Homo-oligomer: A and B are copies of this chain.
Amino acid sequence: MVEEPQVIEALRGVQDPELGRSIVELGMVHDVEVDAGEVRFTLALTTLACPLRESIVENARQAVLGLGNVEDVHVELREMTEEEKQQIWPEKPQQQQAGVAEQLNDIQHVVAVMSGKGGVGKSSVAALLAVALRREGKRVGVLDADITGPSIPKMFGLSGTPPMGPVGIIPAETEEGIRVMSINLLLPEEDEAVIWRGPLISGAIRQFWGDVLWADLDYLIVDLPPGTSDASLTVMQSMPLNGVVLVTSPQGLAGMVVRKAARMAEKLTIPLIGVVENMSYAECPNCGERIDIFGPSKSEEVAEQVNAPFLGRLPLDPELAERCDAGEIEAYEGEDFEPIAEAIAERVPEEASEPMMAQAHPQGPRGR
């Protein structure tokens, strides 16, 4: 059965979007009671007129339901006392407002890497693209939008919690100077599960955009999770994307799911930069034979079907898998990827898509 400390722990993950801090740390959570599967608690808000009230309550509910074994959650609301408010804003109220970082950032191009289907090496392609652009002297960041299966930090050998500056979260930095933000940098252990429903996933992604001090970047690469649900939708609706790179594998099945991803981008009017085929073939280390592990390539066909340029093939390279597992992707030679990175950089549209407004995210924790 669920107990009080677990409820508080779950609520610690819920932020007040206006203040950008955990509702538990802000002293908003009171009177937690657990009675068989029923959980009750009171949320003390800075003002009951808070326009984001519904989403805070919903996020808190979902966080507690996410514990499992919880059948129902009752949330009472009250306004904070003056004393309680004093503790939150010791001197200047709203000193650390959400979205301040965003106003300070200057990001030239935002490129999302997407596949629809998992495991085709989307994260490797996103990381290799960042590395290749960095080698060209560009200022590069990677936003890991895969909240439930984040693999970017491990590839770059990053761990540890990023520090919180006065206006936002400072991204982690790789050896070569690529700035990285990922939920895995914020978890106590890298294999901790993030059991969140959509609204929390979307909230985290919007914070990675609005509350992270990316500073000046030539390219921000966004690594999308598989699927066309909340995470992809939030990235496409709330960030000014210049375009999407689609990653596929030679399997017909992968092609089908990639076409779904392409249709999503089309519906949301995000330009397709092109299609990259990963895991194209392997080379036998003994006899040099080229093996079509996933069958013959159909990716040029897929590119044609989705009306996007075909950008090239990447072989299955055990060295890349090893480098990724060892956190050394920046040391990987990756000659095969160079022409692909060049083709992508050439084709990134100069103009970014217009992000949607706050109303499009009735459940989101932040109005952007």
Q: Which residues of A contact B (CB under 8 A)?
A: 37, 61, 65-72, 116-121, 123, 147-149, 151, 154-155, 190-199, 201-202, 225-230, 232-233, 236-237, 249-253, 256-257, 259-261, 263-264, 267-269, 282, 284-287, 289, 291-295, 316, 318, 321-322, 324-325, 356-357, 359-363
Q: In the complex, what distance in Å separates the CA atom of A293 from the CA atom of B249?
A: 15
Task: List 9 A-B pairs, Cβ < 8 Å.
Answer: A116-B148, A148-B227, A148-B228, A191-B263, A192-B263, A193-B261, A198-B199, A285-B291, A294-B318
Nearest residue (CB) in B for A354 is: B69
Q: Which residues from chain B contact A229 at a C-beta distance below 8 Å?
A: 147-148, 194-198, 201, 229-230
CB distance from A235 to the nearest CB of B (A): 12
CB distance from A237 to the nearest CB of B (A): 7
Q: In the complex, what distance in Å separates the CA atom of A93 from the CA atom of B316?
A: 59
Q: Are B253 and A324 in contact (CB under 8 A)?
A: yes
Known: A118-B119, A284-B289. A226 touches B226 (CB 8 A): yes
Q: Are B118 and A66 in contact (CB under 8 A)?
A: no
Best-surrounded residue of A237, A259, A261, A295 (most CB of chain B within 10 A): A295
Q: In the complex, what distance in Å separates the CA atom of A36 from the CA atom of B223?
A: 31
Q: Are A195 and B228 in contact (CB under 8 A)?
A: yes
Q: Are B318 and A149 in contact (CB under 8 A)?
A: no
Q: Are A356 and B194 in contact (CB under 8 A)?
A: no
Q: Are B68 and A237 in contact (CB under 8 A)?
A: yes
CB distance from A339 to the nearest CB of B (A): 23
Q: Are A264 and B193 in contact (CB under 8 A)?
A: yes
CB distance from A288 to the nearest CB of B (A): 9
Q: Are B253 and A116 in contact (CB under 8 A)?
A: no
